[in-house]
Structure 1
Amino acid sequence: MTDRAEAGAAAAEVTGQPVSGVASVGGAVWRAALADGRAVLVKHHPRAGAAQAEATGLAWLAEPGAVPVPAVHGWREHWLVTDYVPAGRPGVAAAEEFGRGLAELHAAGAPTVGSPPPGGPARAWIGLAPMRDEPGEHWPAWYAAHRVRPYLRAAVDQGALSHAQAGLVETVCERIDELAGPPEPPARLHGDLWSGNVHWAADGRAWLIDPAAHGGHRETDLAMLALFGCPHLDRVLAAYHEHTPLADGWQDRVALHQLFPLLVHTVLFGGGYAAQTVAAARAALRA
């Protein structure tokens, strides 16, 4: 069981600064005040490799002119220490800047689809679920093999999806080439871009936190952003599209890209996510 004293010790070890105080932010996350006046965020990852994956992901996403991310001070086994970014409120100007910055981030690219961040482990995580970053050549086949089918099998094994429901998702995989839209170069993805990982800061900007970064299709980030709602999403998408236009028919492919996070949630939480997964598969096939 981790506690405040362990978080303070981790902050001191990583930064080389004495810690004058530690306060809980929630869950296994703390704010540590350093003796030199700075504040850092200290996060405990119980899963092996997760601190390294997040640290390398944040460093990879720290692209000039893109969306700001907290600076990484370092990581030690299960601990990650980053800058502490005070929270603010979402606003229209910040949403539009976020949309443009996200387009810049995606355009920074990746070596291949499925590539992990430089120095990052192939065995990574998306939230509480394991996720493997396995480089591939073509996004449609890679997405079916490494982002849909592993979680589909797990959902069936757990009894969260019936074989009939799984067959519908499998049909999407079989038709993935015709459903995927025009080819695009690999984008540099946040990888877990639901609204909770967009941090609206006191400086009037939106920041990216808690990534599952990898090379992929840019529409995946945007589809995940829409899945659970995001403040001023219409302005985010409009600014993105104005900065870097999306391929024709991208709205029809939202359900296809949402299959991955919905299956992850089905595996982790079951319940209504199974029904949402089936609905997304049906919508993808109708597109």
Structure 2
Amino acid sequence: MNPAAAVAEITGTPAVEVRQLAGSVYEVDLADGDLVVVKHHGEPDAVLAEAASLEWLAEPEGPPVPGVRGHDEHWLVVDQVEPGRPTERAAEELGRRLAALHATGAPAFGSPPPGGPVHAAIGLAPMPNVESPTWADWFAEHRIAHYTRLAVDRGALTPQEARRIEAVRVAAPDEPPARLHGDLWNGNVHWAADGRAWLIDPAAHGGHRESDLAMLALFGCPHLERVLAAYHEVAPLADGWRERVPLHQLFPLLVHAVLFGRGYAQQALAAARSPA
């Protein structure tokens, strides 16, 4: 099925024009004048995971997320959000709203969104949502060790390097499970024409709030210090959180090593040597 046919079937409204945005993501004009975005996923669980993630993150006090119009096994249709530019004011609001979103919590570390699958995805990589009552053990097994093993299987890490990374334990403070976006790099912060920062493309799950903030810092984010300062005003972070950032970043770096190879594996090894 092509994007136009998928949108028409899911929304009940014919597509007038389709424009490819990137890869398997398209912007579609509908016959009723609305504008939507449609994404294709190869795995049915990936569609369900993203739809459930968006619905779980749609908290009134949290950052705005696109509304879900509908989906089938391979196509997800969401509202289009007109792009804008990053501003300091939007960054500060993002920080405050992200703190509020995290505070809404999750049933356990590793919890999927309600109705979401255990076997989810982050980008094009598999992501297991396995619940645990303790964060450090869960993060070590289901984020660090899981992706380290996948990176070895794909030839991005040697077994010796994998042992070094798997030995890492992140001593983050004991906090209740936070409701995470889960894939919060800068590309998934959509600076919109309405003057707000929207969150897109989530891989939501229960985790430690420092993980979302560490991922936001990984590839650079406009006005990041404004985001973090506003967050800290609403929900102060524990001492040493900045020193723990590289260790939280092991998760997304290993995901990138699985998907893109050796360069990111070297970054993961450097993060694993962090003194924190």
Query: Whole-Å Cα distance in 1 between the matches of residues 105 and 141 of structure 2?
Result: 21
CA contact (8 A) 2:189 2:200 kept: yes
Mapping of 1:70-89 within 5 angstroms?
A: 70-89=66-85
Q: Is the partner of 1:49 in helix, strand or coil? A: helix
Matched, 1:39 2:35: yes
| Alignment partner of 1:64 is 2:64 | no
Secondary structure of the 1:223 match is helix
Match of 2:136 in 1: 140
Q: Which residue of 2 aligns with 1:281?
A: 272
Q: Residues 107 and 12 of structure 1: is their aligned pair in 2 closer, same or farther, counting only changes over 3 Å?
A: same
Aligned equivalents of 1:55, 1:133: Cα separation in 2? 15
Correspondence for 2:110: 114
- AA at the equivalent of 1:240: Y
1:28 matched to which residue of 2?
24
Tell which deviates more after alignment, 143-152 or 28-37.
Answer: 28-37
Supply the distance in 2 between the matched residues of 1:171 and 1:57 (Cα, whole angstroms). 31
TM-score (norm 2): 0.97
Superposition deviation, residue 272 in structure 1 = 1.6
Q: Any idea what SS the aligned residue of 1:43 has?
A: strand
Counterpart AA for 1:256: L
* Equivalent runs, 1:122-137 vs 2, <5 Å: 122-137=118-133
Whole-angstrom CA distance in 2 between matches of 1:35 and 1:158: 45
Are residue 204 (structure 1) and residue 195 (structure 2) matched? Answer: yes
Tell me the CA shift for residue 157 of structure 1.
2.7
> Structure 1, residues 5-43: CA drift from partner, whole Å, max 9, x if none?
x21121122222222222222221111112221111111
Give the corresponding residue for 2:257: 266
Equivalent position to 2:149, from 141, 145, 153: 153
The residue type equivalent to 2:217 in the other structure is: A
**C-alpha separation in 1, matches of 2:173 and 2:208:** 11
Q: Give the equivalent residue in structure 2 for 1:227.
A: 218
Find the aligned partners of 1:109 and 1:279 in 2 and give their Cα distance: 31
TM-score calculated relative to the size of structure 1: 0.93
**Matched residue type, 1:233:** L
Distance 1:159-1:9 versus aligned 2 partners, 3 A rule:
closer
Root-mean-square deviation (CA, aligned residues, Å) is: 1.2
- Matched with 2:50 is 54
C-alpha distance in structure 1 between counterparts of 2:243 and 2:263, whole Å: 22
Name the aligned partner's letter for residue 154 of structure 2. Answer: Q
Matched residue, 2:172: 181
Q: Which residue of 1 aligns with 2:166?
A: 170
CA contact (8 A) 2:71 2:77 kept: yes
Number of corresponding residues: 276
Identity of aligned residues (%): 64
What letter corresponds to residue 62 of structure 2 in structure 1?
A
Q: 2:244 aligns with which of 253, 256, 263?
A: 253
Contact 2:136 2:172 in 1 (8 A): no
Contact 2:180 2:206 in 1 (8 A): yes
1:10 partner SS:
helix
| Whole-angstrom distance in 2 between the partners of 1:134 and 1:82 | 27
Secondary structure, in 3 states, of the residue corresponding to 2:167?
helix
Give the AA of the match of 2:270. Answer: A
Q: 1: CA distance between counterparts of 2:214 and 2:224?
A: 11
For structure 2, which runs of at least 5 residues remain unmatched after alignment?
A: none
Counterparts of 2:153 and 2:47 in 1: how far apart (Å)?
29
